Structure 1
Amino acid sequence: MRNRSYHSIRVLIIVFLLISVVAPLITLLCNIHVGDIPKIIDAPQFWPMIFNSLLASALATAISVTLALALAWCVNRSSIKMKGLFSVLFTLPMLIPSISHGMGLVLLFGDNGLLTNLFGVNLPLYGLLGVVIGEVLYSFPVAFLLFTDTFQYEDYTIYEAAEVLGLSKFNQFDCITLANMKRPLLSAIFAVFTLVFTDYGVPLVLGGKMMTIPVYMYREVIGLLDFSKGAIIGILLLIPAVIAFIADLRNKDGQRSSTIVRAYEIHPNKVRDGLSYLLCIVTVVLISLPILTFVYLSVVKQYPIDLSFSLVNVAKAFDLGLGMYLINSLTIALFSALIGVLLTYFAAYITARSKRTFTTMALHLISILSLAIPGIVLGLSYVLFFKGSVIYGTLAILVQVNLVHFFASPYLLAYNSFSNFNENLEDVSMTLGISRMRMLSDVYMPCMKETLCEMFSYIFVNAMVTISAVSFLANFKTMPLSLLIPQFDSQSLIEATAFISVVILAVNVLMKIAVFFVKHRIKRYE
C-alpha cells in the first residue's frame, strides 16, 4: 500500500514513453511505400545530397570540436580573468534558433550585408562555406560545455610526475591531456556531427544550390505533403544518428570515474595567457556580431535604404502576431519544462534506484533513445501517428513532442545524480518502513535542488529555440515564436525577423539569470 503511488507513476511513465516514442517511430516505418525507395535513390540529386550533408557535417564537426577544445583549455588551463563571463558568452549561440545564425551571416556578409557594405567583403556565402560557418556557430557550444566539465576533473599529480620525468608541455598535452579527453572527445564528435547532420535551419538559409538531406525532407513534406518520401528520408537521417548514439553509449559505458588527488595548478605564463585572451576575445566578437546585428536591424526603419532609428519594425512585428506567438512559446516552454522535469526526474529515480530488471533496463533505453532521434524525424512521426487525434493541432502536442525531443539530457543529468547516493538507502528505508515516495520527497529532492533547476532551464531554453520538431505540427493558432523566423524571412521582413531573434534571446537570457539566482539562493541557505 505504501508504494502504490510509486508503482502508479512507474506505469504512467512507461505508457507515456511507449505512446510518445516507440509508437510514432513504428508508424513512421509503416508509412514507407516500398515503391518510393528506388525513386529517391535513382533521383539525380540523391547522391549529391548525401555527399553535401556528410561533407558539411564533417567539416563543421572538425572545426567546432577543435575550437571548443581550444576554448575550454584557455578557460581552464590559463590565468586569464573573467573566465566565468567568457564561459557564459561562449554559450550564447545556444539561446537562439539555428536558422538565426544563418540569417545573421546573411545580414553581415550577404550582398547587402553590413560588413559587405562597410569593408567591401564579398564572401561566397551561399553554399558549403556559409553552411559550415553557420553550423560551427550553432554547434561548438555543445562541445565546449562537455570539455569544460571534463577539464575540472583532471588530477594534477600526473602532470607533476611528468614534470619530474622531464616531459615538455607539448608532450604533457599530447600524452596526458588528450589521453584523458579521449572519451569526451569522441562524445563531442558524435554529438556535434549528429546535431549538424540533422539540422535544416542553417542550410535552409545559406545552402543556396547545395541541397542537404534535412532541407530536402522539409521541402518534400511541408511543400509537397509527400509523407512516404519524407519517412524514407527520415530513416536516412536516423541511421547516422543511431550509429553515433550506439557508439557514444558504448563509450560512456566504458568510462570510469577518476579520483582527484590534487586540483590542477596553473603557473604564470604571459605568452599562454596572451594567446588565450586573443582566442577568447576574437571568438566572443564573432559570436556577438550576428546578435548585435539583430539588435541594430530591429531599430532601423528599412535596411539598407533608410538606417534612421525607428521602432516601426517592432510595431510591425507585433501587428503580425508576435505577442500571440510569444505567449504560445512561453506556454509551450513552461509546460514542457514543468512536466519534463517531473517525468525525467521520476524516470531517472525508477531506473537508478531500483534493481536491474528487464523493465527498468527497457525504460532506461527508451529514455535515452531520443538522443538519436532528429527533431525533424520526430515531428514527422508525430504527424503520422497523432493525425486525427484529440491533441492534434493543439498546444498539447507541441508540448508532448518537446518533452520527447529534450527528454534524454535532463534524464541523464538526474540519473547521474541519483547514482551518486549510497546504493543501500532503499534497503534501509524499507527496513524502517519508509515509502519510496517519502524517500524521494524528504531525502533526494532536497539534495538535488540545483540539478532540478538545471533540468528546468535546459528544457525551457531548448523549447524556446527549436524549429525542427514543431515545424510539422504547428498551425496558425498554435505556432511558437521561433517558427515566425523562417516565415518572415520568406517574406523578406528582415527587420521584424531580427527582432524576433532578439526577443527569443532575451527570454532565454532572463531564464538563465533567474536560474542562476535561484541556485545562488539555494547554496546560501544550505
Structure 2
Amino acid sequence: MTTVRNWFLNEPTIPQQSGPVERLQKTLIVMMMLALLITIVLPVWELLQRAMQNRSEEFVGLQNFVTYFSSPSLFQSATHTLTVASVTTVISVVIAFLFAYALTRTQIKGKTFFTYVALLPLFAPTMMYGIGLIYLFGNNGLLTTGFFGALESIGFTEFDFNLYGFKGIVISEIIFTFPQAFLILKVALSTADQRLYEAADTMGASTVRKFFTITLPNIKYGLVSAMFVCFTLSFTDFGAPKVVGGQYNVLATDVYKQVIGQQNFSMGATVGIILTFPAIIAFIVDQTIQRKQGNGLSAKSVPYRTPANRSRDRWFLTFCLLVTSFLFLLFGAVVGAAFVNVWPYDFSLTWKHFGFGNVAGDGLQPYWNSLLVSSVTAVLGTAIIFFGAYLIEKSRYLRSVRKMAYFLSILPIALPGLVIGLAFIFFFNQPTLTIPFIGVDVYNPLQHLYGTMAILVLANVIHFYSVSFITANTSLKKLDNEFESVSEAMRVPFYKTFTRVTVPMSLPAILEMMMYLFVNSMTTISAVVFLYSADWKLASIAIVNMDDAGDIAPAAAMALLIIGTNILVRVAYEFGLRNIRKKTSAWQNQAQ
C-alpha cells in the first residue's frame, strides 16, 4: 500500500541506482531550469536594472519612475490606458456574455456558424482592426461617406464619427478581446445543474431571479477570469493604438516612442515595468480564483435543458446577427481595401496591392519571413515546451527544482509582449552580463543571437510559453502515472516511454500547441517590434511600416495574407484532430 501511495504522490518509492538514464533525466531537468532562468529571469532583471539607470547608464534608483509620474504628459498616458482598459473590459465582457449565453442557453439555429465567426479576430493582427475601422469610419470611410453622408443629404445634422483617439482604440480593443472573453464564458455557461432551475421553478422564482441567484453565481469565476483577460490584453496592446490612437497616447505607444523615437531606453524600460504591474496583478488574482474554483457539476448533476421560448430566441438571434454582421463588415472593408484600385474613388478590382513593390513593406519577403519564423516557432517551441512539461509533471527527481521550473513556466503569461521584446534588447545586445546579487561580469555568449531569426523565434516561444505549457501540463495530468512507474520497474528508459506512449496519447494537445504557436507568431507585433533586423522583417512589422508611410491598402493586403494563412492552418489542425480521433476510436474498438 505504501508503494502505491507513493506512486500517486509522485515521489520515489525505493532507492534507485544512479545509472546513466537517471543522471540524464536529472541533467535535463537542471538544463531546463537554467534555460528558463536565462531566457526569462535574466532579461527581466536587465530590464529592471535599466529602469533604475539614466541615459548614461548611471544608477538613479526610482528617479525615472518619479519623473514619469510627475510629468503631466507622460502620466496622462497611464490614465488613458486605465480608461481604455476599463471601458473595453466592461463592454467586451457584456457582449461576449450575451453571445455565449445565446449559444449555450437558447435554441437558436446556426450555433456552429456563429462560433466560427466569433473566433475570426483571433486570426488577424490587432492592427487590422484599426485598418478596417479606418475604411469604415475614417474621413473617406464606407459608412462615413455612404450611410452618414446619405443622412446629411436629406437634412440630418452633419455627423463626425471622430474615429482617431479614445473611441477608435476602444472599438479595436473590443474586437480584439471579444473572442477571448467569449471562449471563457462559453465554457463557463456550458456547465449547469438542471436540478437547481427545477427547484427554483417549484418555488415560483422568476426568470430574472433565477438569472441572478443561479446563473451568475455559477459562472462567477469564469466571469472574473474573462474580465481580467480583457483588461490585461487591452492594457498592454500596441497594434490598435498605433493605428487609430492619433494623439491619444497610451503606455504601449509610449514605450515605442521612448525607445524607437527618442532612443531613451531607460525611460522605455521604466514604462515597460509600469505596463507589467496590472498584468502581474491580474495574473495573481486569476490564479487565486482558479484555485478556489470547484467543479461545476457533480456525479449527481443533471445536464441543463434549455426551455422553449420563441421570443427569447428571436432576441438573441438578432443580437448574434448584429455582432456577426459587424465582424463581416469589418473584415469585408479590409478585403475591399486590398482589392479595389483607389478607395473610395476607383472601385475597380486589382491585384496591385499584393505586389508590395513600391511601398514600405519590402515586397513579399516579410510574409515569407513570417511563415518561416512561425513554422520554426510552432515545431521547435512545441517540442521544447511539451518535453519541459513532461519533465516537470512526470519526473520523480529534483522536486524543488521542478516546482521552481513550473513557476517560471507560467510566469511569461504575466509579461506583455513589449516588455519581453525590450528585455531581450537589454539582455542579448550587450557583450557582458552582470550576475545578479554577485556583481561579477561575464562574457555574454548569446549576444550573437541579436538581429537573427533565432531571437525572433525565441521571443515568440517565451511570449506564448505559458498558455502552451498549461495545455501540455493539462494533457499530461490526464495520463496515468502508472505508465512511468511500470516503465521504471521494467528498466525501460524514460525517453522510450515518452516517445512511444506519452507523445502518441497526447497528439491532440501537441497539435493544439503547434496551431496556437503558429497563429500567434504570425499575428504578434509587440514581442518582435524591437527585435527584427533589416534581413528579418516580419509581415506584422511590415504592416506597421506601411501604416506609418500611409500605404494603408497594401497594409490591408498583408493583413489578409496573414488571416488566410492562419485560417488554412486552423483547417489543417481540425482535419488532423479528426483523423487522430478516428484512429483513437478504432484502437479502442479493437481493444474491446
TM-score range, shorter chain: over 0.9
Structure 1 segments unaligned to the other structure (5+ residues): none
The AA in structure 2 aligned to 1:126 is Y
Residue of 414, 424, 429 corresponding to 1:387: 429
Q: Tell me what 2:454 maps to.
A: 396
Alignment of 1:316 with 2:335, yes or no, is no
Q: Is the Cα contact below 8 Å between 2:106 and 2:312 reproduced in 1? A: yes
The answer to whether the aligner puts 1:73 opposite 2:111 as a matched pair is no
Which residue does 1:267 correspond to in 2? 307
Amino acid across the alignment from 1:321: D
Deviation at 1:155, TM superposition (A): 3.0
What is residue 55 of structure 1 aligned with on the other side?
83
Which secondary structure does the structure 1 equivalent of 2:259 belong to? helix
CA distance in 1, matches of 2:525, 2:406: 27
Question: In the TM superposition, what are the counterparts of 1:383-462 in structure 2 within 5 Å?
Answer: 383-388=425-430, 389-462=447-520
Aligned equivalent of 2:379, options 335, 338, 341:
338
For the 8 Å contact 2:123–2:566, the answer to whether it is kept is yes
Describe the SS at the equivalent of 1:149: helix
In the alignment, the residues of structure 1 paired with residue 303 and residue 462 of structure 2 have an alpha-carbon distance, to the nearest angstrom, of: 38
Tell me the secondary structure at the aligned position of residue 449 of structure 2.
coil
Out of 255, 269, 280, the position equivalent to 2:320 is: 280
| Matching residue within 21, 31, 36 for 1:12 | 31
Distance apart, 1:318 and its partner CA: 8.5
Residue pair 1:333, 1:460 contacting (<8 A) in 2 also: yes
Deviations 1:36-90 (A, max 9, x none): 3333222221232111110110000111111111111111111122212211110
Aligned AA (1:85): F
Query: Could you tell me which residue of structure 1 aligns to residue 545 of structure 2?
Result: 487
Distance 1:169 1:317 in 2: 60
2: CA distance, partners of 1:19 / 1:176: 48
Specify the alignment match of 2:209 in structure 1. 171
Give 1:507's match in structure 2, choosing from 547, 565, 574: 565
Matched, 1:463 2:521: yes
Moved more, 410-419 or 470-479: 410-419
Aligned partners of 2:392 and 2:295: how far apart in 1?
Answer: 20
Larger-gyration structure (1/2): 2
Amino acid paired to 1:336: T
**Residue 181 (structure 1) aligns with:** 219
Task: Provide the aligned C-alpha RMSD in A.
Answer: 1.8
Q: Which residue of 1 aligns with 2:92?
A: 64
Indicate yes or no: 2:192 matched with 1:154.
Answer: yes
Q: Name which of 25, 43, 59 aligns with 2:71.
A: 43
Q: CA deviation at 1:317?
A: 5.0
State the distance in 1 between where 2:365 and 2:539 align: 8
1:128 aligns with 2:163: no
Partner of 1:238: 276
Q: Distance in 2 between matches of 1:433 and 1:254?
A: 40
**1:190 counterpart SS class:** helix
Q: Provide the C-alpha distance between the structure 1 equivalents of 2:201 and 2:482, rounded to a whole number of angstroms.
A: 42
User: CA 1:23–1:79 in 2, change beyond 3 Å: closer, same or farther?
Assistant: same
CA–CA distance in structure 1, aligned partners of residues 538 and 331 of structure 2: 20
Displacement of 1:169: 2.5
In 1: Cα distance, 2:47 partner to 2:378 partner: 27
Q: Which runs of 4+ in 1 moved over 6 A?
A: none
Instruction: Provide Cα deviations, 1:142-173, integer angstroms capped at 9, x if missing partner.
Output: 11111112223333333333333333332222
Which of 338, 341, 344 does residue 298 from structure 1 map onto?
A: 338
TM-score using structure 1 length = 0.96
Task: State yes or no: 1:349 paired with 2:387.
Answer: no
TM-score by length of 2: 0.85
Specify the SS of the correspondent of 1:316: coil
One-letter amino acid of the counterpart of residue 345, structure 1: F
* 2:334 alignment partner AA: F
Question: Does 2:555 align with 1:497?
Answer: yes
1:22 aligned onto 2:36: no
> Measured at CA, do residues 157 and 8 of structure 1 come closer, stay the same or move farther in structure 2, by a change above 3 Å?
farther
- The structure-2 alpha-carbon separation of the partners of 1:163 and 1:41, relative to structure 1 and needing over 3 Å to count, comes to same
Q: Secondary structure at the match of 1:31?
A: helix
Q: Does residue 1:365 correspond to 2:407, yes or no?
A: yes
Q: Percent identity?
A: 32
Name the CA distance, whole Å, in 2 between partners of 1:61 and 1:439: 45
Unaligned runs of 5+ in 2: 1-19, 54-59, 149-158, 431-446, 585-592
Give the structure 1 partner of residue 228 of structure 2: 190
Deviation, structure 1 residue 425: 4.3
Aligned-pair distance for 1:438?
2.7
Contact 1:488 1:496 in 2 (8 A): yes
Equivalent position amino acid for 1:513 in 2: V
Tell me, in whole angstroms, the C-alpha distance in 2 between the residues paired with 1:180 and 1:497: 44
1:237-272 residue CA offsets vs partner (Å, 9 max, x unmatched): 011111111111111122223445332212222112
**Cα offset, 1:471, TM superposition:** 0.1
Match in the other structure for 1:114: 142
Contact 1:109 / 1:122 at 8 angstroms: preserved in 2? Answer: no
Tell me if the contact between 1:322 and 1:481 (Cα under 8 Å) persists in the aligned partners.
no
Which residue identity is paired with 1:380? L
**Residues 109, 115 of structure 1: 8 Å contact kept:** yes
Q: Secondary structure at the match of 1:308?
A: strand
Q: Secondary structure at the match of 2:534?
A: coil
